[in-house]
Structure formats: structure tokens, C-alpha cells
Chain A
Amino acid sequence: MPHADAKSFAVAPNATPGHLSGSQRERARVAYPLVTLPALLVALVSLIPLGFVAVVTVQTGWDQVVALVFRGRVGDLLINTALLEAATVPLTIVLAVALAWLTERTNLPFSRLWAWLAVAPLAVPAFVHSYAWISLVPGLKGLGGGVLVSVLAYFPFLYLPVAAQLRRLDPAIEDAAASLGLSPWRVFVRAVLPQLRVAICGGSLLVGLHLLAEYGLFVMIRFDTFSTAIVDQFQSAFNGPAANMLSGVLVLCCLALLGTEALARGGERYARVGSGAPRMVTRHALGPWIWPALALNLVTAALAIGVPFTTLTRWLAIGGFDIWPLQAVGNAVLQTVLLAVMGGMLTTVAAAPMAWLSVRAPGRLQRILEACHYYVGSLPGVVVALALVTITVRLVLPLYQTFATLLLAYGLLFLPRALVALRASIAQAPVELERAAMALGRAPLQAVRVTTMRLAAPGAAASTALVALGITNELTATLMLSPTGVETLATKFWSLTSEIDYVAAAPYALMMIVLSLPLTLVLHRQSSRASGSAA
């Protein structure tokens, strides 16, 4: 696992090249062609989905693009998407901030337990959340149902960064605001909330992108989004221009979200000003508010954990041993784990050159390449899958519906996760160590191997694990790209629920949760440690 202080370490190596003059930096960049070249290659591959959308748009011709984009169906989908985002994101922010504040900054009883329960929904794939809700409330559908399940499935994405940021805040700032005559509520609004802005923006972006990309959740709840519409189109008319144009609009939606987030975040700095260690965080006494606070935590946990847990238990109890065809379940587990581990390692290897460059040789070229690596992860699985389907069918048919293509899709979708984990751990291995190893008689490559690669190993493991977690719960791209006969837990679960065989689907849902749970726990611990909390 990346070390706790990954973030603060990450700054130091970047600072060194800052002292170099322009020409020196130029030389430093060219000095790593062996690393820059693969990074460049990966960046170019990352551009495939976007390039695909552009090429297809041009090939389709302007008139047909207009006909396909400016029609009622697209308008309906846009309205649906806008409503979904506008309702879900603010609700998620309010819920996540409230829970994070209560668990981190108040004397709420059992705050550690509630903190765990606020992260645990991550272990349940979004489409399993909606499966649980549909089982419980069969009539649930449309915008309301979509918002409810989305908030419950995605609020941990906001809870994690907000809670981490709350732990990092300097309590002296709140004291200062209080001493300037502000009541506790106004202290929160004027001094605390603004400092959570970066965490809220980042988490909201993640939630927003998931809303755009999610397919399974909204199909079950019978709410049309671009992702569901594209898959529908794909299943009825394969990779026709209609699906391609829809995915073009979806990409624009993603870009709009990215832009909105960048605007909202601004170029501000929210780090702690001043030196010295921050004081221990003080916890506010809730007084009589303790009951509503407990109720909020309890209700959230009941809805986000209790509902999937009880429905799954119910289906498993109804099904008994009969729904455990060991060969089928075992096969799906095996194939899922195999794909997850292979995809995880491949993605980690692909991200390694970029991670190394961004720490050791930051510069303009590096920033452009890094942006390519990051943007592709924000694209919905359906867009990446559609691009790869079209390209393999048109250009390299032998690769269509092969493991190679599927793994490539996974690599593209989860590249940012790998990059973040690797970057943090490479940043912990200062270049001085390599130099020391060389001064002690090691050849350059050997020096890198015995120092940096050794120290980055935990980061590589974390990166593999994070990507593997993503692959385990990936549905859309796997549905569209998997070779015939390949059935992961997600696709098997999906085909069974599509036949309304909720009982038989339960074991697959359970196995997905079981596989995700350890990683979710690790994620929670990491975020606690990253902020220097003793919890």
C-alpha cells in the first residue's frame, strides 16, 4: 500500500527539477527516451476512444450527424441526464458532508463504526444496489428511484475525500473564526465548508462521471440515460451511426462535467498555511442533537448496507443449496479473478512509465501525456467498448471479442487508478537513493531496480488491486467485448437478472461483494492513514 504521507512526499521530487534551468530540463526530458517512448505510446492508445468519436463523426457526414443528434430522443436523454445529475449530486454532497462531519468532528457514539459503514457501500456494485432495491420495492422506477439508488451507491465517493479533508483541517482556524464572533453554524459555513471545496468538487466529479457511465443500475430501475440507450442501440443495430452519435454526445457530457468541476474548483490553494504540526482535532459536543445524528447514520446504513444485505440474504435463503451450481459459480469466480488480476497487472505496467516520468521529469510534454492518461478513465465504459468494437471489426477483425481487446478496454478504463497509486509510491523513492546506489557501484538500471523499483513495489501492488476491484465489478464493457463463452460474475449476474431470476443471481452478487470487501477495507484504512489520523 502507498505510504501514508504519499501526498506530501509527492511534492518534494517535483521541486527539484524546478531549480533546473530551461536547457537542463530539456536535456533531462530527452535523457529518458526509454521511458518517454512507452509513455507516449500509452498516451496515444488512450486517445483511441476520443479519436474514434471524432473520426466517426466526420465519416457520418454533417447532415446525418445533425439528423441523429438534434432529435427528440437525444433531447429526452439530455433532460434525463441533467435531472439525474442535478438531483443526485447535491443530495450526495449534503449526505456525505453531514456524515463526514458527524463521524470526524463530533462526539457521535461509535463514530469509527459509522465511518466504516459509510465506506462499506463501495463493496456493493451499483447494479447490485438497484437489484436489491427492485427486489424490495418492485415498483421502484424512473428518476426518483434512480436518484435514491444512485445516492446510496455513490455517496462513499464523496464521504472518503471529505472525511479525509476534515481530519486534515487545522482546528485553530475554527477557533479563530469563533473568536471573531461567529456562531458555530456560521463557523462551519464560512470557515470549514470553503476548505472542503476541493474534496467536494473531486468527489462530485467522480459521482457525476459514474452517473453518466452507469448502465446496470438504470436499466433495472427503468430510467433511460445515454449509457442505457447506447447499449440498447448496440444490441439492436450493432455499431450503427445512431449508437456512435449518442456516444459522441455522451463524451461531450463528460467533458462538460470535467470543465464544470475545473471551474468550481478554481486555482485555489487550500493547504494549511504556516508551519508546525497542526493541533489535535477537537470534537464538538452534539448535546441533544445526538439523537437526530444517530438516526441519520442509522438510516443511511440501513438503506445503503441493510437493504442489499437483507435482500441478498432473503434470496439466498429462498434458493438454498440449489442456486449454487458449483461449477457455474466457480467458473465465473475463476474467470473474474483471472481477468481482474491480468488486467490489474497489465494496467500497472502500462501506467508505470508515465508515473515514473511525472515524478522524475515533470515538464510540459509530461503534463500533456499525463492528461491523456487521466481523461480516458473518465469516459464511460460504453464509449470505450463501442470504440474498440468498431475498430476491431473494421480494422483488425481477428482481435474482435478476444481477451486482448477486453484487457485493453480495462486498461483504458482504469489507467488513472493505476497511475495515482504508482505515482504516490514512486514519489517516496527520492532520486538521491538511486544516486547513492550508483555511487556505491551499481549500474544505472541496477540502481533503479534495487532502490526505486523495490520501494515502489507496494504501490504497484496497490495499483493492481485497485484496478482488479474495478474489473470485478465492471459490467458494460465486459458485456459488449467479452469473448464468447466468457462469463464473469458481473455478466452472469446480469444475464440472470435480465431473466428476472433474482434468486439464481444472488450467489453471483454475493461473490462480487466478497471479492470487493477486502479492497474496500484497505481503501478505508488508506484514507484514514493518508490524513495522519490514528483511527
Chain B
Amino acid sequence: MSLLSITSVSKTYGSSARALIDVSLTVPAGARTAIVGPSGSGKTTLLKLIAGFERPDAGRITLDGTDLAGEGIHVPAHKRGIGIVSQDGALFPHLTVGENIGFGLPRRQEGRDQRIAALMNMVELDADMGSRRPHQLSGGQQQRVALARALALEPRLMLLDEPFSALDTGLRDTMRRTVARILAASGTTSILVTHDQGEALSFADHVAVFREGRLVQAGSPQSLYRRPADRQTALFLGDAVLLDAVVTSGQAETVLGTIPVSTTDDASDRGGSTAHKLVMLRPEQLRIRWLGLGEADLVKGARARVLESEFGGGLCRLTVEVGEGPSRAVLDLRVSGFDVAAPGETVAIEVVGQGHVLPG
């Protein structure tokens, strides 16, 4: 069941800057959706359109069956019932933490103080922090206050605008898990906007990738990571090994041997036709074995010569060369730091799982 549906939405700033081009997206109820893309991809514009801070030039936005924006319709932000947590919390500097959290609650509402206390408890803030000022809190605490403030009104939809990017790396992961847990506990549908693909993949049940104002691909984190729609998306979502291949009915002949492959576009490679394609593998699909003396024959996989090796602690980098002549390829691999091969030595590369054929 979809809670929010965005239909053919476009937005242009000024006379030329096209921020969003014909975007359609549905957000399932109760789920966590991530909108991810590099800066300038239009993700923040989309968020502003959903929140009601901007109006779309064309298209329609519907929440729970009610039109929020469309031809001649614009429900102002304060009547949408959509919560928002922004990059640095946007806490009111002139109010205490408690007053910030209770900002949206009617002043004379019965049980207001208890509600604030419950919200603070929900976001795991100590009760005695209620009388502090925002600037006395750490970055992570500020974000919890912002979340509690937005949750106070029990919004139908919660927008998270890069809420973790101002935090330190360690804190970021903890906060992400905490926020995911709190949202799940309160059953709030949420949309996370981020430029960090790792954050998007680990936070959301549903990911939408944006680039240059367009929605490139949407789906589960696993499907996007394993079967990206194109080369740019593949590289945006993580490290990738890209190989030239001859693809015939589910099999790809590559320099690393024959690999079973999948495609995003089912129609294109059915029917046994042969085509030169680009096949993507994720680095963790490559098992690299150092070939000691004598056991060389027992190890499966393509042989590769080590060109460079760079020690990096637990995870090391290996630049290897596979194949010869026109099919020669140089690959950058990540290997365990436990037994790193030296330049000039030979390693075996075995492919695990399916490769993915990229279109074009």
C-alpha cells in the first residue's frame, strides 16, 4: 500500500536550472525509503516539494489519497502534517530542549509535559536535559531533539534531510540505527534524503537513486546494489569491477572465465543472442587466493599477475593484470590484509555468484 505518491513531477528554478524532470515515485506505508544521489541531483528539491516549501511546476503529489500539490492545488506546509528533521536539527535557539519538543503541541493541552517526557524517553534523552538550551547539546543529542519535536505531532510521514551528515563518523552509524529503531517503533513512514549511498542502503527498505534531476532507479537496497540500472549507478552505489564480456543466454565469457549473469532489462538478452556487453561484479564477489608452490593446480579460478600491492591494515589493495593481448584487463581488488601477495607473484581469482549485465 502506498502512502505517498509522486506523479510526473517537474520543477525548474529560474529560467534554465532544471531541478527535477518528470519524477514519479511511490513510497510504501510504514517503510523507510531513502532518496540518494550526488549533490545537484534534485533530491533536496523533491523533499521541499513533498514538505510544501516549494511548489512543483508540473505533476501531482498525493499523501494517503489526498492531493497535496498539483494543478491549482497547494496545501501549505503547516497543513500537511509532514514532519521534518533537517541536517543540523534546526532547533529553535531561543527555546529550551523541552520547549523545542513541545513547540508543535498546543500550549494548554492536557498532559503536555508528560507527552514531552515520553518523547524524550523515546529518543533516549535524559529527562534532565529538558531545561537545557540547544547549544549545550552535542550534535547527536540535537538530532534526537529534532526527531522528538517532529514525532510529537505524530506525522503521517517523516522527512529526514541528511540528518546524519553533520555528525562524526562513529556517531553517524549509531544515530542511524537509533533513528531507524525509533521510527520502526512508532510505525512512522519515513523518507531519508542523503548523498551517502552506504547510509541509504543500510537505513532503508526502499531506495530511489537520483541523478541530474531524474529518478534513475528505485527498488530494494539489495536489488539496486546487485543489479544497478547503469554503469554510473553501479559505481555510485559501491565499488565495482567492470569487465568486457560476450553474453550468451545467461552466461558471460569474461577474462575471469565464464560467469552466470542477470540483467535488469529482462527482454534484451533473452533468446540466446550473443552480444558484447559490460558485466559488473562487486569486489566482494571475487575470491582471491595466493598461489603457494605446489598447490597451484588445485586452485580454481583465473590466474592474475600482481602489479602492485598496497598494505592498508585489515583490507589491502591489489592491482592485478589478467588475460593477455586485446583481452588484457587491469583490476583493482580488495583483499584481506592477512596474506598479501607481492608484485610479480600470481594469484587465482574465483567469481562467486552472478555477474550483472549493464545496458549499453
Binding site for B on A (CB under 8 A): 170, 172-173, 175-184, 187, 190-191, 194-195, 197, 268-276, 282
Contacts and interface: CB of A to CB of B under 8 A. Distances in A.
A295 B125 CA distance: 50
Interface of B: 51-53, 76-84, 86-95, 103-104, 133-135, 139, 142, 146, 149-150, 152-153, 155, 159, 165-166
A182 B104 CA distance: 8
Contacts of A175: 51, 53, 77, 84, 86, 90
Contacts of B95: 194
B93 A270 contact: yes
Contacts, number: 102
Contacts of B86: 172, 175-176
Given A177-B92, A178-B78, A179-B159, 7 more contacts: A172-B90, A176-B84, A181-B153, A195-B92, A269-B133, A273-B91, A274-B139
Given A175-B77, A180-B103, A275-B166, A191 B92 contact: yes
Contact of B104 (A173, A180, A184, A276): A180
A183 B146 contact: no
A274 B87 CA distance: 9
A276 B87 contact: yes
Contacts of B78: 178-184, 187
Nearest to B84: A179
A180 B106 CA distance: 11
Contact of A173 (B79, B83, B92, B139): B92
Contacts of B152: 180
A179 B51 contact: yes
Contacts of A190: 103
Nearest to B161: A172
Contact of A180 (B53, B88, B93, B149): B149
Contact of B93 (A183, A184, A187, A195): A195
A401 B158 CA distance: 73
Contacts of B153: 180-181
Given A175-B53, A182-B78, A274 B166 contact: yes
Given A175-B53, A178-B77, A271-B135, A195 B87 contact: no
Residue in B77, B84, B103, B159 with the greatest tally of chain A CB atoms within 10 Å: B77
A180 B91 CA distance: 12
Contact of B135 (A179, A184, A273, A282): A273
Contacts of B166: 274-276
B297 to A, nearest CB: 58
A194 B94 CA distance: 7
Contacts of A172: 86-88, 90
A194 B96 CA distance: 13
A274 B88 contact: yes
9 residue pairs, one from A and one from B, having the closest CB atoms: A274-B88, A180-B104, A172-B90, A178-B77, A194-B94, A176-B90, A179-B84, A273-B134, A172-B86
Contact of A181 (B81, B91, B94): B81
A273 B87 CA distance: 11
